[in-house]
Chain A
């Protein structure tokens, strides 16, 4: 069964009196363990698609099945629970809580999951991204690359099926960016589905599959043949 199934999804915003059709009927499926990029020019609807896939938003029409569950009809609180259990977010601006240290930031999803013994899991997640020794540093005491690693640790701490990354290397220099992508590769090897929204063709080139968005539609669905890219 596919992990993600998007069928004829449309999204329309009203801005003032104007209706903006951000998505005009998009359909695709994503299998567990895929490593996939969504590309497209500004205004192509890729951010909207990202928000929908991340359960931050609901489609205006069409259906979105996440792990077999129809997300289109769920309440805000149910969506929050889905995000908590199934999805980890990695943002371009890292989006860490500035007053909390690395460990506390990583613990945040566990807190909302109602898990009490959080310390150990958070430490493990930080260790996975190679930041075990930075656990008690605050975000501003960390470099950009380190902050993004903390964000990745936060994304994986609750063992989600999917990681959604929005321009994850956009605020990093190219070397640090490559390190982050290496972390993603490693995570994908462990079976996590990775979906990246990006402008950067280099990142897209490293992915197994690229969805090209144009004008709110899926223009192209390219499979990069790469050995060992299939899901375990």
Chain B
């Protein structure tokens, strides 16, 4: 019997029990579809994050406070960034094109009866350079406005969408945490969905601190190196300056400096790990599908005992019987895999367009899911087929 004939006869017998075959495949269908959807969303998230981070300046270094353990035990000391640090960097670190100290916090933005929960970012005009921001209309605040704690605000595109219905209304007054601000500019959309700068409002640093957040420390300091070549050098001298500032000698630093490259790596590693973890769970459902196949194959072997007897009587060898049932179980899982693959790709596309998420279905995910499904069919079909092959022809022919 050739392989082609084997496949044809397997399909014939699967078609004889259409509903049962379909229900058996369902486990594999769901498993494969789940793997593909999970990977598609994960890969989409990764691409999204990458795009967002690459939108920031390429020479960017981000300084943020970090916690460290106390000198004499596990007491956690929270690091702080202050204006002194900022000034020290400004005076002592060379090859720097822009320094933007930042404070951030959650606020509500209100215009007439429209309210929108957003984030405020207080900084100096240098933030335009470090974050690669582009204005769609109006202007950014000036250094003198920053010094005088002016109540002026530049809005991200999402905020404009939410409170102005997308209209550009310069010189209007919006209330941030109840404090009236004059809108002086609007940013161009930057893209990216999670925590995008589009959903932020930018105000002068001093204004944010005193009128909105009531905080004297800094959340972050963005430093743009003068060129890509000097990023490492700048990072090194930043570390030295901040250590001296914070009197860090032999203990852990109480701050962190991350370059854009590091953030990219961390982000992509994290999302890859998450994707793998979720895909792993989805693969488990494939295994469960395999158990379903084994179950039905055992039933099928029992039901077809007489057929096995007839085939053996007319000359089928063990291998012939085993191959026949293995082809059937593999056909179940492979067809399930194909259907699941199509459904998975469909759902990924649907999720992409319905929720506005970026989804990417990589070829490797389809191949892995499909091969795994086929392997499941062979693996879980082996025992039932072996059982069928070893049946005694006399017993089979006597079987009612």
Binding site for B on A (CB under 8 A): 51, 54, 56-57, 76-77, 80-81, 83-85, 89, 91, 95-97, 99, 108-109, 111-114, 116, 154, 158
Contacts and interface: CB of A to CB of B under 8 A. Distances in A.
Contact of A84 (B12, B307, B314): B314
A84 B97 CA distance: 89
Contacts of A57: 394
B267 interface: no
Contact of B315 (A83, A95, A96, A97): A83
A177 B309 CA distance: 25
Nearest to B15: A99
Interface in B304-341: 306-307, 309-320
B310 A109 contact: no
A219 B394 CA distance: 25
B316 A112 contact: yes
Nearest to A166: B397
B251 interface: no
Contacts of A95: 306, 309-310, 313, 397
B16 interface: yes
B397 A80 contact: no
Nearest to B314: A109
A30 B306 CA distance: 30
A80 B315 contact: yes
Q: Is the interface of B mostly helix, strand, loop or mixed?
A: helix
B13 interface: yes
A112 B311 contact: yes
Contact of A80 (B307, B309, B310, B317): B317
B311 A108 contact: yes
A57 B316 CA distance: 15
Contact of A76 (B12, B307, B318): B318
Contacts of A80: 312, 315-318
A186 B257 CA distance: 99
A85 to B, nearest CB: 8
A109 B394 contact: no
Specify which of A80, A97, A112, A158 lies most central, judged by the most chain B CB atoms within 10 Å of its CB: A80
Contact of B314 (A76, A108, A114): A108
A56 B314 CA distance: 10
B314 A91 contact: no
Specify which of B5, B307, B315, B316 lies most central, judged by the most chain A CB atoms within 10 Å of its CB: B315
Contact of A89 (B13, B307, B314): B314
B393 interface: yes
B310 A97 contact: yes
A91 to B, nearest CB: 7
Specify which of B2, B318, B393 lies most central, judged by the most chain A CB atoms within 10 Å of its CB: B393
B314 A154 contact: yes
Interface in B1-57: 1-2, 5, 12-13, 16
A112 B320 contact: yes
B319 A77 contact: yes
Contact of A81 (B306, B307, B317): B317
B393 A56 contact: yes
20 contacts: A51-B394, A56-B312, A56-B313, A56-B397, A77-B318, A77-B319, A81-B315, A81-B317, A83-B314, A91-B397, A96-B310, A97-B307, A99-B16, A109-B314, A111-B5, A112-B1, A112-B311, A112-B320, A114-B1, A158-B315
